[in-house]
Chains A and B, each alone.
Chain A
Amino acid sequence: MSRARSGDLGAYEVLVARYTVPAHRAAVLLGAGDDADDVVQEALVKAYRQLSRYRGESGFRPWLLAIVANETRNLHRSRRRRDGLVLRAAAVTEPAPDEPGPADTVLARERRERLIGNLRSLAQRDQDVLVCRYLLDLSEQETAAALGVPKGTVKSRTARALARLREHLRAEEVPDA
C-alpha cells in the first residue's frame, strides 16, 4: 500500500516539475503577488487529492490552472485585497539591444505598455476573463471552471471586456491624432 502510494508520488512529482512554472505564472497574472508560491503549492496538493476527478479530456495543464485560479480567488477572499492587480506585478521586459528594427521595437513596446496599462484599468473580473482566455490560453469552458461562473457569463464578459479595452485604447489615441 505504502509502496503503491510512493509510486504514485513519484509519477506525480514529474507532473509537479513540469507544471510548477506555468501554474506560478497563472497565479501571478491573476494577482496572487507574493503569495503565488503558496497558491501553487496548495493547488498542487489539492490537484493530487482530486486526481480521481481528472478525466483527461483537455489535458492536465488547463485542469491544474483552473485549480490555481480557484486558489487565487480564495486568497483574495481571505485577505480582502488583491495584490498587484493582475499585471501590476508583471513588468514589461526590456527588448534586447541587438533585436532587429529598433524603431519597430520601440513602437511595439509602447503599444504593449499601453495595452497592459489599459488592461490594468479594467474592472477586476474583466481582467480575469481576458487573462484566462488569452494570456493563459484557456477555453471558454476552462475559463468558466477557473472563475467559477457559467460559460455564458464567460462569453458575454469576454466580449464586454474586449469592447472596453478597445474603447480605452481609442480614447488614448485621440490626443495624438
Chain B
Amino acid sequence: MPEPHDDLIAELRELDPFLAVPEAADQRATVRSRLSVPVRPQRRWRLWLASALAAVTVAVIAVEPARATVVDAVAQVLRVAGIEVRRQASPPRESPSPLPSTGGVTLEQARQRAPFTVKLPATLGPPERVELADPDDNGVPRVVSAVYRGGTVRFDQFAGSAGVFFKQAPDAEWVDLGPGMSIWLPKQHTLTYVDRAGLERTATARLATPTLIWERDAVTYRLEGFTSLEPAKATALSLS
C-alpha cells in the first residue's frame, strides 16, 4: 500500500547529496591515543557493576569478545570493485582449469590491447611473464596478469566496473592503503573467476595464497603471493 507521503520521502532522500557539510577532521590518531590510556580503576569497577546489573536485568545475552565484534563489523562490507569476498570457506577443485587465456605476450602488447592503462609495481622489477585473460572477439582482454619470482607472486589488474572474481575467505579484513581502503586476505582462500556473462566459472576455483586487493582510478588490482601485509602494501604503493 503506498504511503501518503511517498513522494515527499523520496524528495527528502534525494536531498542528501546536495547538502554540503564542512570537512571532517581525521580522528584516527586522537581516538587511538585516547583509547590507549587505561580507564581509571574506579570507573572500571562502576562500569563492571553497571554491566553486571544490565546482564541480570536483560537475562542472558551472549557478550562476544570485543575483538570478534570488531572483525565482524569490519567484514560486513568486504567488496572492492570487481571482487566480492564472502566470509566463508569452501574447498576448491583438485586441479583447477586455467582462465581462458591468450597465453604469454610482451608488456607492450598488453599495454596496447588492455582497455585500461596497465600499471605495474616498480619494486618488483620487470615481470617474468605477462598474460592476457578472456579476450573478447576483438582480442581485448578482461584481465592482465604479470608473474614474478618464479611464479610465486602474481599481479592481476582489470576494469573495476566488471565483476571478475569472487573469493571465499573467512578471515578477510579491511586495511587502510594510503588514499583508500583495501582488503587483505592473510591466508589461503578460494578464488573463482566470474566470466563476461556473470557466470561463476567454478572449474577455475583454486586456492590462492595471501592476497591484497585494492582499487585506484576505476581499475582493480590483486596482488597475490606476499605472506605478510607490510611488504604487500609497500609493493602496492609502488604502482606506476
Contact = CB atoms under 8 A, between A and B. Distances in A.
Contacts of A116: 15, 19
A92 B17 CA distance: 9
Q: How large is the interface on A (under 10, 10 to 19, 20 to 34, 35 or more residues)?
A: 35 or more
A112 B74 contact: no
A4 interface: yes
Given A60-B76, A115-B15, A11 B173 contact: yes
B81 to A, nearest CB: 16
Contacts, number: 147
A40 B27 contact: yes
A87 B231 CA distance: 46
Contact of A11 (B8, B15, B70): B70
A112 B21 contact: no
Contacts of B56: none
Nearest to A17: B176
B74 to A, nearest CB: 6
B42 interface: no
Contacts of A130: 12
Interface stretch (B61-69, B88-96, B105-113, B186-194): B61-69
A14 interface: yes
A17 B181 contact: yes
Nearest to B34: A45
Contacts of A53: 63
Contacts of B73: 15, 54, 56, 59-60
A87 B19 contact: yes
Question: Which residue, of B22, B25, B72, has the highest number of chain A Cβ atoms within 10 A?
Answer: B22
Interface in B159-206: 173-176, 181
B28 interface: yes
Contacts of B57: none
A119 B11 CA distance: 12
Contacts of B20: 90-93
Given A51-B69, A162-B8, A163-B5, A37 B24 contact: yes
Given A135-B15, A137-B13, A162-B8, A12 B70 contact: yes
Given A41-B30, A135-B12, A135-B19, A11 B24 contact: no
B9 interface: yes
A29 B18 CA distance: 12
B136 interface: no
B24 A18 contact: no
B46 interface: no
Interface in B35-63: 35-36, 39, 47, 51, 61, 63
Interface of A: 4-9, 11-18, 20-21, 23-25, 28-29, 36-37, 40-41, 44-45, 48-49, 51-56, 59-60, 87, 89-93, 111-112, 115-116, 119, 130, 134-135, 137, 159, 162-163, 165-166
Interface of B: 4-5, 8-9, 11-13, 15-16, 18-22, 24-28, 30-32, 34-36, 39, 47, 51, 61, 63-67, 69-74, 76, 173-176, 181
